Amino acid sequence: MFTNLLLVLALIVNPGPKAVLGTSDVTLSSRSFSMEDRYNVPSVNQVFKDNILLGLKYMDGEVKSKADVSWPEVEKPFEASFTLNPGEEFAFTSHTLPDYSKNVVKTMNTDFMWNEGYKSDGFLVGDGVCHLASLVYWAAKDAGLTAYAPSNHNFAKINDVPREFGVAIMSPSPLGNLYIINNKEKPVTFEFNFDGTNLTIDVKMVSSQIT
User: Residue 65 is part of which domain span?
Assistant: 20-210
Total count of domains within the chain: 1
pLDDT band at 207 (very low <50, low <70, confident <90, very high): confident
Assign 140 to helix, strand or coil.
helix
Is residue 8 situated within a structural domain? no
Q: What is the mean pLDDT of residues 13-24?
A: 53
Q: Measured between alpha carbons, how far is 56 from 191 in angstroms, rounded to an integer?
A: 11
| Residue partners of 156: CB distance under 8 A and separation at least 6 | none
Residue 48 placed within a domain: yes
Least confidently predicted of 5-9, 79-83, 88-92, 198-202: 5-9
**Quick check: is 195 in a domain?**
yes
Name residue 10's amino acid: A
Question: For position 96, what pLDDT does the model report?
Answer: 98
Is residue 4, in this structure, part of any structural domain at all? no
Residue 104 domain-assigned?
yes
103 lies in some domain: yes
- Residue 197 counted as domain residue: yes
Q: What is the pTM of this model?
A: 0.88
